[in-house]
Structure 1
Amino acid sequence: MIKVGIVGGTGYTGVELLRILAGHPEVRLHAITSRKEAGMAVADLFPSLRKRVQLKFSTPEEAPLTECDVVFFATPNGVAMQQAPALLQAGVRVIDLAADFRIADVALWEKWYGMQHACPELVAQAVYGLPEVNRDRIRSARLVANPGCYPTAVQLGFLPLVEAGVVDLAHLVADAKSGVSGAGRKAETHLLFSEASENFKAYGVQGHRHHPEIVQGLAAASGQPVGLTFVPHLTPMVRGIHATLYARLTREADVQALFEQRYSEEAFVDVLPAGSHPDTRSVRGANLCRIAVHRPQGGDTLVILSVIDNLVKGASGQAVQNMNIMFGLPETLGLAHIPLSP
């Protein structure tokens, strides 16, 4: 059994980790931290976990994290980089669901995240945890940087095209929408029901901190610099990301076949029949990315539709997928959840 610790067990990604790991046949939950809720039973805060999770929250200082085989950080940006070095020194493997280790250029990370990195020497050791790209490196990783939700949907949608070199890499466009849970479990005016309901808006048009993460991944896949216009939107739903992606073909290709071949062995990427329109409900609660390929009017502009649940394949489910790879388990173990409907 894998002894698991979770730092930051009270946010949306934290409770999603608990939901998934509580049903994982090879996991024993060993420690869950929360400064605010220390001493409270997990099931008292999250009644959905009654009779499934018996632990109480403890402070990070009191939690037996060094006894764990792996520790997940489901914390705000800037927390994992403070605590990860000591855990790695103790032989614990670390999966960070925040952004502390995602961007290889530390100066660029500091620019976008507005803080000084506490352990820049570890950034080069971190493996970017997109299994469909880095599976071999994840197997031996000590520190995994779990991808962001927008970057997961966008990269999986563009990857077959940029890897094959069949599109104009200088002018990619990602028009992406997210449910409000993507902003985290916190009290902010724009996330209140009265503000977010019956509303739809773009944000971060001048620049969003997931932009350099997406560009970094696509450039690595293509071997060339990538130009990307990325515009995120907030939608009045709890879960889900819908990314509508645009790229211009530079040479003729059977794009449907390209996607089907690229993801034919991937358990968590579903390429739909040509002309399909995936919706976020079709992946809700599941560790799954569904993709559809369109070529309107047979022209040279491709439209790729990519949908995920931002809390599962976009966060906690992908983190457990990475854990399975790191510990030599079947990649789908504990992740065979059928999407919820309705």
Structure 2
Amino acid sequence: MASDYKFQGWLGLDKDSVKGNMKWQSYEPKSFEETDVDIKITHCGVCASDLHTLRSGWGPTDYPVCVGHEIVGQAVRVGKDVPTGIKVGDRVGVGAQSGACHNQNGDCESCADGMEHTCKYSTDTYNSKWPDGSKSYGGYADYWRGKYSFVVKIPDEIPSDQAAPMLCGGITAFHPLVQHNAGPDTRVGIVGLGGLGHFGLLGAVKALKCKKVVVISRTATKKADAMKMGATDFIATDEDEDWAQKHASTLDVIVSTVSSHKMPLEGYLNLLARKGTYVHVGAPEDRIPPFSMFSLIPKRASIQGSMTGAPRDIRSMLDLFAKTGVRTWNNNVPMKDANQAIVDQEAGKARYRYVLCHEDHIKEVKYN
């Protein structure tokens, strides 16, 4: 069955596209297979990854590229071999990853362990390749096509505009807390109160009921918002004198969401308690600062990296967020204004996530 709709979206044609120069054009998606799902997009979150990719910040981008990997919409075509119960008309979403080998190559430990998001044969939602060699295209568009594997149903309790950013930003910041068993006895630090950080804060406070949740930022500009979200304390590293010493050894888990390489990393590590863990989820384009190993050795502390989550992790998070009332603080923007949205994102104006909405679905409201 051929589709009667065209695939059109905002395409970045070169590095200057990040300056608000994306072009609305048609493109050819992958050939439809019976394990695929087509989504008519209603909402797509704007992620910092989109900007890194548009400007080739993490390496050369395969232009033209359609970014956007926080996609929510309606399933309009479902292959007959899709086994997950998704049917035409369902409200579904897809995040930063769209495909994995699921151990079909026989040597992928990640898929064998249920950690498909770390599969070495993975297909990213955009700027990547499907197994047949065709390009993957993202959600700044009318439609999305891809494998069923990473398509998830959206709980009825969560509006689409709030659900979209959870599919990358939400799982990226929340998954490390789950991995480290954060709960009522855990003292958590969140570095950076942005699109990622606000999910870490809300998840730690509302979903996991953590004992202590401290936001760490350069200045106190966002302190009022942090406290409104439920933070128990706030550290402004550029303004609070001797902050690393005053708060030394007070946190069990730190999730760092910042993408700047100009970070006081050794100071962050000083905040870790015995056996504490620093987890970095932000992805700077340059190398991070050096630090002394004595920030870790005497306390048996550790540094880890983390990215997104497997489909089962995303489903579990959405269910928990639905039950505990975690909601995105977002500003909705018409899809036609995507170029302005990425310029404003780059300028740090988001409070705390921009969501592109097709005009029939936009609500002029900020959720907080």
TM above 0.5, yes or no, is no
Bigger fraction of residues in helix: 1
The TM-score normalised by the length of structure 2 is 0.28
The TM-score normalised by the length of structure 1 is 0.30
